[in-house]
Amino acid sequence: MSYIIDRRLNGKNKSMVNRQRFLKRYKQHIKEAVSDAVNHRSITDMERGENISIPERSINEPIIHHGQGGRQHRVLPGNKQFNTGDQLDKPPQGGGGGGGSGKASNQGDGEDDFTFFITREEFLNYLFDDLALPNMIKKSLSQSKEFKTRRAGFVSEGTPNNLSIVKSLRNAHARRIGMGAGKRKKLKLLRTELEQLLAEPVPDSLRIKVLEDEIAHMEARLRALPFIDELDLRYRNQVRVPVPTSKAVMFCLMDVSGSMTQDVKDLAKRFYLLLYLFLEKNYEHIEIVFIRHHTSAKEVDEEEFFYSRETGGTIVSSALKMMNDIVQERYLSGGWNIYGAQASDGDNWDDDSPLCADILANQLLPVVQHFAYVEITPHEHQALWYAYQGVQQANAQKFACAQIRNAADIYPVFRELFAKERYQEAV
């Protein structure tokens, strides 16, 4: 006797615990892989998970087994031309077992990387692992979540005060048309037949009676169709949406002057991208202001910021002034957390650098949560860097400077700028 059991309804994620344990165990590898991916991915490409590769040897579960060598006998199927005593040359070493030995190919597989997929959420989690923005909690802790209701279409269940009469009656009408269609058609046929019978010289009264009864019955049934049914009712839907309680605005400042090469811009792009993704994760609502500058500053959209080209000299203070103007104009009230991120190759008119430091120290830093400056240059520090050093010493909690030399530097710099320790010091 066999029992047949339907297990399909049982949970299917029995292996989740083990999967998590695996991820936990190889956290370090995964983090490295993620950080690598960030360096290599293109900017528009952050909205997906990632294939993580771990070298097979690091996750190998060792067991005792035979290595290669020694004197072995192997029985193989499919002999075509060999005879006893034939000698076959061995394939060159490392050639991968041309003799067709199963063993060699198994070990060949062993050299591959172990690859698996993590979701976007997991990807970002690893990316932002144990980071927190400076001073952020100060504001967010004191704020509780607020909701407001908003209309969101129609639903079939609700309270009478939300009843949408027009929508409900329209549904009722459609239903009556739909449900009565067959009956009306039949009624029409019956009536035609009745007329024909009546038109005949000798009416078949019995048949006429039957038809009349049937017509009456049909009409009664048509009348019995409810004018409005519970099925027809539609209610205005109201949803509660959280009012963003922690709002942030991120200012992206970038030098696009002639001295900024494409490589340098690419590096800057990645810096903003990471910052943005990070903010997106920590704030419910974020606005971004893109300011590009050469000798004069201009507020642009994202597309233009990253992808259009311009050349010219460099006056950094123009961008800082513009940022200050925008802050004064739009973000001073309303609980905005203001973040600034500036990228440059460090070039500036010498006379301008002290001015930059002045605007930053006296006008911007008092209102922002944090301001980060990255100098993207493989060379010596430039004038602006030295000007900013003074500001940084005075405002270590809010202002960070870092130098980026190549793509692989971005992620460590990013971590450094927003590392938890720094945050804790700030608190």
d(CA 69, CA 162): 82
Q: Output the six-digit token pair for 109.
A: 């597989």
Which residue's CB is nearer to other proteins, number 76 or number 152? 76
We find the least distance from the C-beta atom of residue 29 to other proteins, in angstroms, to be: 12
Cα pseudo-dihedral 109, 110, 112, 115, rounded to 10: 100
**23 vs 419 by CB, closer to other proteins:** 23
Beta bridge partners of 254: 292, 343
Q: What is the smallest separation between the CB atom of 11 and other proteins, expressed in angstroms?
A: 8
Q: How far apart are CA 255 and CA 319, in angstroms?
A: 9
100 vs 378 by CB, closer to other proteins = 100
The secondary structure of residue 419, as a DSSP letter, is B
**17 vs 166, which CB is nearer to other proteins?**
17
H or E segment to which residue 315 belongs: none
* Neighbour tally for 367: CB within 10 Å: 15
Minimal distance in Å, beta carbon 293 to other proteins?
47
Looking at beta carbons only, is 67 or 182 nearer to other proteins?
67
Q: Which is nearer to other proteins, 14 or 223 (CB)?
A: 14
Q: Which residue, 66 or 223, has its beta carbon nearer to other proteins?
A: 66
List of residues contacting other proteins (CB under 8 A): 1-8, 10, 12-15, 17-25, 59-80, 82-90, 99-102, 105-106, 114-117
Instruction: Output DSSP code: residue 163.
Output: B
Alpha carbon distance 118, 31 (integer Å): 11
The distance of closest approach from Cβ of residue 98 to other proteins in the complex, given in angstroms and rounded to an integer, is 9
How far is Cα 32 from Cα 411, in angstroms, rounded to an integer?
A: 10
187 and 221 in contact (C-beta within 8 Å)?
no
- Least distance in angstroms from the C-beta of 49 to other proteins: 12
Residue 86 beta carbon to other proteins: minimum distance, rounded to whole angstroms: 4
- 117 CB neighbour count, 10 Å cutoff: 11
Write down the least CB distance from residue 38 to other proteins, Å.
22
Select from 97, 43, 108, 93 the least CA-distant residue to 74. 97
Given a contact cutoff of 8 angstroms between Cβ atoms, the answer to whether 337 and 248 are in contact is yes
User: What is the dihedral angle through the alpha carbons of 274, 278, 284, 290, rounded to the nearest 10 degrees?
Assistant: -30
Nearer to other proteins, 20 or 149 (CB): 20
CB of 25 to other proteins, least distance (A): 5
